Amino acid sequence: MKAVRAFALGVLLLGASRLEAQQYFGMNQVQYKHFKWRVLETEHFLVHYYPEEKQAVTSAARMAERSYARLSRVLGHQFREKKPIILFSSRADFGQNNVTGDLGEGVGGVTESQRHRLIMPFTGDLGSFEQVLAHEMVHEFQYDIFARGRAGANQQALERINPPLWFMEGMAEYLSIGPNHPLTAGWLRDAAVSGNIPTIKQMTERPDKYFPYRFGESFWQYVGERWGDAAVGEILRNTPAVGVERAFLRELGMPLTDVGAAWREAVQSQYLPAASLTQRPQTFAAPLLTHKKSGGEIFLAPVLSSDGNYIAFLSNGNEKRGELFIDLWLGNAKTGERIKRLIKSTLNPDFEELRLLYSQSAFSNDGRTLAFTAQRAGKDVLYLLDVASRKVTRRVDLPLDAVTAPSYSPDDRRIVFSGTLGGV
């Protein structure tokens, strides 16, 4: 999700008018399955699921209550009504929901600002699932605080104040991950070394440039370390009444711009001394897939052939040629130059999605065949492709919802992969 941040940014904060449009168009979603919904009721949630998920949903309900118990203490807020959680057994099923419409493969979950419905799929990895669930749970608290405990109320305040993405998403990341996050540390280290740590104004006005998940998480981490996590809850609870800037001033006794400046200094002090003692990548390595060398803007899931001559990767292409979607490409592993497109996705019913965030293709050891997974007819399929001819030589339909990460055995006679069924 992080690597394709442009896909996710558009759905981080769902306003009322936009959500109504999504609900309308969601009615026209392609439906591969008829979901027979059941409800598991817990102390604070109504967990909606279908029978295929029964084994996984009990664990999910426990995780939801565990997140609620922790966040209610940190944020100093309790729900007055039970919140709906809608769970899908796979990314393919999640894409069929008619609540928000298909938000794209880059979205791992979403929470509505009006009805407070939390919607997300299982991924088979309970660790990452629980983190995303906790992230969305923070949004439940944010919206419930604005709504004064009643879903759909006080929507005008949320729209009027319109909290910045670094405020909403950064808080959700910090409270779902905690203070030690290597991914965010890497982002902030690179920003410090390049002199590109944003101001509060820059984060607010340019979330497309300063990714709110990482920079916002770091900012809230600083607030939590300096003033305590209780201050995060106080700021959030004050925001609906007085706005973001006055909430910071009221709770911390400092203008928000000053808090931002102090955070920037803390980041520089933390990362610059260590960075001065290490080698930067360009001193011992050269970038291979770049816009200049390879064209396109996004490069994901690269895999090398065994002889090191070729590289398969997911990327968009030349806009003038209409290569707007993420497709599977073959490149020269020495120069980074694109050789040919192997699979055209999105508009091809055999390759609706390429699992760009969850999977990676695999060369056979002789380099002749490429194994990859793609969504077809609402489920994942394993494909084998002849690299020279670009033709699929075999389609393996499996009794599973999701299939990811194929890899060949040394003799090329077997393929191992990860799969999930019913979210497990």
- How high is the pLDDT of residue 104? 84
Q: How far apart are CA 234 and CA 239, in angstroms?
A: 9
How confident is the model over 132-172, as pLDDT tens digits?
Answer: 999 999 999 999 999 999 999 999 999 999 999 999 999 99
Q: How far apart are CA 162 and CA 30, in angstroms?
A: 32
Average pLDDT, stretch 270-281?
Answer: 86
Q: Which of 50-54, 147-151, 269-273, 321-325 has the lowest mean pLDDT?
A: 321-325
pLDDT band at 347 (very low <50, low <70, confident <90, very high): confident
Average pLDDT, stretch 321-339?
Answer: 92
- How high is the pLDDT of residue 27? 55
Q: How far apart are CA 168 and CA 155, in angstroms?
A: 16
How confident is the model over 78-89, as pLDDT tens digits?
Answer: 999 999 999 999
Cα radius of gyration rounded to whole Å, the chain: 23
How confident is the model over 50-66, as pLDDT tens digits?
Answer: 999 999 999 999 999 99
Average pLDDT, stretch 232-237?
Answer: 98
- How high is the pLDDT of residue 357? 83
- How high is the pLDDT of residue 18? 36
Residues 148/80, Cβ–Cβ less than 8 Å: no
Which residues are registered as beta bridge partners of 391?
386
Provide the 10 A C-beta neighbour count for residue 413: 8
Query: Which has the higher per-residue pLDDT, 318 or 120?
Result: 120
Please report, rounded to a whole number, the percentage of residues in the chain having pLDDT higher than 90.
Answer: 79
Query: Model-level pTM?
Result: 0.89
- How high is the pLDDT of residue 20? 40
Quote the DSSP letter at residue 374.
Answer: E
- How high is the pLDDT of residue 346? 87
- How high is the pLDDT of residue 14? 34
pLDDT band at 176 (very low <50, low <70, confident <90, very high): very high
- How high is the pLDDT of residue 105? 86
Q: What's the order of all strands across the beta sheet hosting 327-332? A: 299-304, 310-315, 327-332, 338-343
How confident is the model over 26-37, as pLDDT tens digits?
Answer: 456 678 889 999
Average pLDDT, stretch 251-272?
Answer: 96
